Amino acid sequence: MELRNLGRSGLRVSAIGLGCNNFGGRIGKAETQAVIHKALDVGITLFDTADTYGNGYGEEILDKAFGARRKDVVIATKGGYDFYTNPGARNGQREWPQDMSPKFIRFALEKSLKRLNTDYVDLYQLHNVKLADLRSDELFAELDLLVKEG
């Protein structure tokens, strides 16, 4: 598998990444593990997930599927939807409410780290950002602080 630079991050990732939005929701643990193991076997190193996938269960399954190979993969996860107050339901809305406050993003990242059973993610993304609603100076300062904290 061809490797490429991930922007200017210094990370090298497979040219093909695996989107993990079906894990823990649409397909179960055994199927998820089979897909992940096959992806690893063919050289895929970039796995893109989010805290909302499978109401958090998708991240838990990833941890178990990677096992000792965690060091060989790049995990990209996302936060920004507040599904924590009502997981499994969307209150009749198309989507869960967004919360891009620095406090919530820190909270969501810490929850993801726990589910992934790791002390770091390689890439943390904001899920479906609406820039007009974003107070970017505060949020980007918090993201910068999270990076500095490791």
Active site residues: 53
Sign of the C-alpha dihedral computed for residues 92, 20, 75 and 5 taken in this order: negative
Burial of 48 (0-12, 13-18, 19+ CB in 10 A): middle
22-28-116-38 Cα dihedral, nearest 10 degrees: -80
Of the candidates 74, 61, 2, 70, which has an alpha carbon nearest to the alpha carbon of residue 26?
Answer: 61
Q: Are 80 and 129 in contact (CB under 8 A)?
A: yes
